[in-house]
Amino acid sequence: MTYAYDDQNIFAKILRAEIPNDTVLETEHSLAFNDIQPQAPVHVLVIPKGPYVCYDHFAQTASDAEIADYTRAIGEVCKLKGLDQDGFRLISNAGDHGVQEVPHLHVHILAGRPLGRMLQKA
Ligand code: 5GP
């Protein structure tokens, strides 16, 4: 599978500072910011700065430095938000079946209340 990256997606515009974001953390290769429509008291999106559509695209083609930076950025957000006490959920939607709205890789970090079971029946 080859992925075509659309550089007009909303997160690409955030990375180019064409639209604002509420930044939680910025690193060399990653950006974390609050979701505009939070689904939980903590709802942070973490994105790589590179043009990756979804998680498998990133995992298959990003450099080791990008992957290490991204993984560490997720860990740092969890630390900044104190999520080691009550836990959290990490979600990365991909494609149609994953119901991915924005075609730039992002993980959702959700926390701050009991989040219920992982999946609902469709
Ligand atoms: P997806 O369904 O692609 O996994 O999730 C996309 C997420 O991006 C949604 O939770 C949505 O609220 C969030 N989102 C969409 N547009 C914006 C925006 O302009 N700014 C921010 N901070 N979040 C956005």
The predicted model gives 8-20 an average pLDDT of: 98
The predicted model gives 84-99 an average pLDDT of: 97
**DSSP-derived 3-state class of residue 5:** coil
What whole-number distance in Å separates Cα of residue 12 and Cα of residue 53?
Answer: 11
Ligand 1 neighbour 35 (Cβ under 6 A): yes
The predicted model gives 48-67 an average pLDDT of: 98
Could you tell me the pLDDT band of residue 52, with boundaries at 50, 70 and 90?
very high
Residues with Cβ < 8 Å from 56, sequence gap 6 or more? 1, 94
- Ligand 1 centroid–CA 78 distance in Å is 19
Q: Which domains does the chain have, with CATH numbers?
A: 10-111 (3.30.428.10)
Task: Outline where the chain has alpha helix (H).
Answer: 10-15, 55-61, 64-80
Ligand 1 neighbour 93 (Cβ under 6 A): yes
The pTM of this model reads 0.97
- Ligand 1 centroid–CA 11 distance in Å is 8
**pLDDT > 70? residue 18:** yes
120 vs 20, more confident = 20
Name the catalytic one among 29, 57, 104, 106.
106
29 an active-site residue? no
Could you tell me the pLDDT band of residue 17, with boundaries at 50, 70 and 90?
very high
Ligand 1 neighbour 90 (Cβ under 6 A): no
Give the per-residue pLDDT at 1.
63
**DSSP-derived 3-state class of residue 76:** helix
The preferred substitution site among 6, 35, 105 for testing ligand 1, maximizing ligand atoms within 8 Å of CB, is 35
For the beta carbon of residue 73, count every other beta carbon within 10 angstroms. 23
